[in-house]
Structure 1
């Protein structure tokens, strides 16, 4: 008779309600893609989230202040 043992992996880290990916590009000069999870405040719109995330990236990379948005994805963080 064989037995099977299942072990649990590490506990998942706390995550936000939504997963996001945002790519900004300065044509011919540089590009950045960042991603993460976040729980937007109640009543926030998709535009509100985009503007907040873009400002967050620009605060870290001031040279991206006038960058073009190449890609933006915002999805519920569940399977």
Structure 2
């Protein structure tokens, strides 16, 4: 049986002005085939010297801390984009 959960880690509420949100919006999905899947999303402002990989590892650690059962899950989706239109 596969279960799905969705969690949000964000620096602002859903209705906060853009200035109160992080500089980047992210989505990360982890899956353990046949056992479950989780998707988390939010905003983040990385340090100026951070790489995309640094941010990915930080967010992966965050998602796993919130969902310990996903500690050895496969990353099936990751996006990190500037938080602007």
What band does the TM-score fall into relative to the shorter chain?
0.7 to 0.9
For residue 15 of structure 1, the aligned residue among 4, 12, 21 is 21
Cα distance, 1:11–1:24 mapped onto 2, change above 3 Å: closer
How far did residue 12 of structure 1 move? 1.9
TM-score, length-scaled by structure 1: 0.84
Aligned length in residues: 70
Aligned equivalents of 2:71 and 2:77: distance in 1? 16
Gapped regions of structure 2 (runs ≥ 5): 1-14
TM-score, length-scaled by structure 2: 0.78
Larger radius of gyration: 1
CA RMSD after TM alignment: 1.4
Gapped regions of structure 1 (runs ≥ 5): 1-9
